[in-house]
Homo-oligomer: A and B are copies of this chain.
Amino acid sequence: LEDPAFEFTDDARQWVDRGTCLTFNLLKYIVPGKLNRGLSVIDSYKLLKEGKDLTEDEVFLASALGWCIEWLQAYFLVLDDIMDNSHTRRGQPCWFRVEKVGMIAVNDGVLLRNHIPRILKKHFRAKPYYVDLLDLFNEVEFQTASGQMIDLITTLEGEKDLSKYKLSVHRRIVQYKTAYYSFYIPVACALLMAGENLDNHVLVKNVLIEMGVYFQVQDDYLDCFGAPEVIGKIGTDIEDFKCSWLVVQALERVNEEQKKVLYENYGKVDPACVAKVKALYNDLNLQGVFEEYESNSYNKLISSIEEHPSKPVQAVLKSFLGKIYKRQK
């Protein structure tokens, strides 16, 4: 928090401390159970180094990049909760709902984001890949914000329209909103640290995007079919009229009568409506559809990975895939 670009007063520091605390909290309860985006920079870098011991400096730098990714996520989560008018984030009230915060949370979100260039400048300014790091974080921020945009405009309040929910739409939302910042950027950071040029790693990028999509499909599946005591929350995608992979698959399989049931019951809070949707999902055997999707995805991902000429890169990608394949939470 020391930065020559801005002198803090006590008041300001108090505010920031309060914010930072919350952010640490946010991170603490967002990250576990998920992929732990931050740590995966170190993990990936280790694998790229093929088991050679990392120097203290390398560990420090990889952690710094991990933190940048966490700040990026915190920034998007704070703003996302405002836009979704959410109430809680893993059991705690959303930041904008905390007393006295309100819409100031918008600026707090922006300040979280600003940690990224400050960390990069402080620790990477002299590295040959400094400019590539800046470009990378800028690109991924743009992609994530673009994903948010398509998500927000397809689920516009007051225009509940199931006919928009197609597989291609679902894929685009997921790819831009989640996959780049959750899957691509940690590995891209590790590659840059290892001296690689990202232009030579289109295959890696594509595989990671596919993994991100697969991860989100699992998320959508578990929201309905996962055990609440295992995933740690009760899914509400049906109530929330989400463009979930399940409803998209259902829409591709319904007959006229079932379609009517779906249109009449999707997006309602009434538990009877939710139950009807779930019954329909069962009638359409969406669990089976998912299992088939899961094993297909896995096989395709493995064969794409094995096309890669570098064994260490393969190891990074397989390690990622291993962490999420058949996950129950």
Interface residues of chain A, those whose CB is within 8 Å of chain B, are 3, 5-6, 9, 11-12, 15-16, 79, 82-83, 85, 100, 102-104, 106-111, 114, 117-118, 121, 130-131, 134-135, 138-139, 141-143, 145-146, 148-150, 152-154, 156-158, 172, 176
Contact = CB atoms under 8 A, between A and B. Distances in A.
Could you say how many copies of this chain the assembly holds? Answer: 2
A138 B117 contact: yes
The 10 A-B residue pairs with the shortest CB-CB distance in the complex, in nearest-first order: A117-B138, A114-B142, A6-B146, A83-B103, A110-B145, A131-B131, A107-B148, A104-B152, A134-B134, A79-B106
Nearest to A118: B142
Contacts of A150: 9, 11-12
Contacts of A131: 130-131, 134
Given A131-B134, A149-B111, A176-B6, A103 B82 contact: yes
Contacts of A135: 117, 121
A9 B149 CA distance: 11
A86 to B, nearest CB: 11
A106 B102 CA distance: 13
Contact of A158 (B16, B100, B139, B149): B100
B104 A142 contact: no
A8 B223 CA distance: 29
Given A100-B156, A156-B100, A149 B12 contact: yes
21 contacts: A5-B139, A5-B142, A6-B142, A6-B143, A9-B150, A9-B172, A11-B150, A12-B146, A12-B149, A15-B153, A79-B106, A79-B110, A83-B103, A83-B104, A83-B107, A100-B158, A107-B152, A108-B149, A114-B138, A117-B138, A121-B138
